[in-house]
Amino acid sequence: MRITVSHDVFRLAQVFTISRGSRTEAKVLTVQVTDGTHTGWGECVPYARYDETLESVTAEIENLPEHVTRAALYDMLPAGAARNAVDCALWDLEAKRAGNRAWELAGLPAPGPEITAYTLSLDTPENMQAQAAEHAHRPLLKIKLGTPDDMPRLEAVRAGAPDAKIIIDANEGWSAEVYADLAPHLVRLGVALVEQPLPAGEDEALIGMERPVPVCADESCHDRASLPKLKGKYDVINIKLDKAGGLTEALALRSEGLAQGYDIMIGCMVGSSLAMAPAVLLAQGAMVTDLDGPLLLAEDRDTPLLFDEKGVHPSDVGLWG
């Protein structure tokens, strides 16, 4: 069995900005695992927030032994982008070898479409209102905030999309005091969820704090080992394949999170349809699905996921699984 990794770049449909910076393209790693007859595919997005680079993740993957299994992979690599791409490629390979779909191998019911959030890029209030108006037909909008001037932006988005459900991602950009001040306004404006309001290392302040809007752990939640530190702080956990280190761990994290009383959000980095395809299996019945990466791209894989009024659909066998 041979593992290969390549760098791919997908142009974004427009400049995408969050509180940490802007980008015009998605840089991803594509992994192929080949046994000589079948080839499995996976994708990951190395993330600087977690000290990952294209080069460091490539090295992790290239240092793996040729005949690695999903079970062995868990002990060879930490949770993160490298393990994710290889794990998902192995799932795809196993499905092709068995002649079954990946969800059948996982013991899951056949998946259906799930409504996904559409993310609005951070911009001036005027431009964000225009973005919101353009996408007001979408049932769920996500706003990237985390700056000192968030209220005018939120008010502008609500004005542009008065009927859409809104969730907020603060990207660790608020203090406890800012969040407490904003919370009543979030309720007034009908915000349904707040993602990671405080820095991951400073979220102890959430314990005992009134949370009139559900608070979701993103940077504070990676895999099952993260769960003990979330108690009393969060209502929802955001599961991302690149954080969890693959579909295998993400499925286990979802089960354990539900057992501990958390609602589930399924999120993504900005990547192609190949990166989203395994996450669609996770998203079934989730409180929030946020798998809009391909919608932000100007180009995608040859067999992209289908997005329509029903949401994001499960992948075709030509893509993954």
For the chain, the three-class secondary structure string (H helix, E strand, C coil) is CEEEEEEEEEEEEEEEEECCEEEEEEEEEEEEEECCCCEEEEEECCCHHHCCCHHHHHHHHHCCCCCCCHHHHHHHCCCCHHHHHHHHHHHHHHHHHHCCCHHHHCCCCCCCCECCCEEECCCCHHHHHHHHHHCCCCCEEEEECCCCCHHHHHHHHHHHCCCCEEEEECCCCCCHHHHHHHHHHHHHCCEEEEECCCCHHHHHHHCCCCCCCCEEECCCCCCHHHHHHHCCCCCEEEECHHHHCCHHHHHHHHHHHHHCCCEEEECCCCCCHHHHHHHHHHCCCCCEECCCHHHHECCCCCCCCCEECCEECCCCCCCCC
Cα separation of 168 and 190, whole Å? 11
Residue tagged active-site, from 96, 144, 233, 243: 144
240 among known catalytic residues: yes
Q: Are 171 and 16 in contact (CB under 8 A)?
A: no
Burial class for 13, CB neighbours closer than 10 Å (0-12, 13-18, 19+): exposed
Residue tagged active-site, from 96, 142, 233, 240: 240
Closest CA to 26 of 52, 8, 4: 8
CA atoms within 13 A on the CB side of 117: 26
Which sequence positions are flagged as catalytic?
Answer: 144, 240
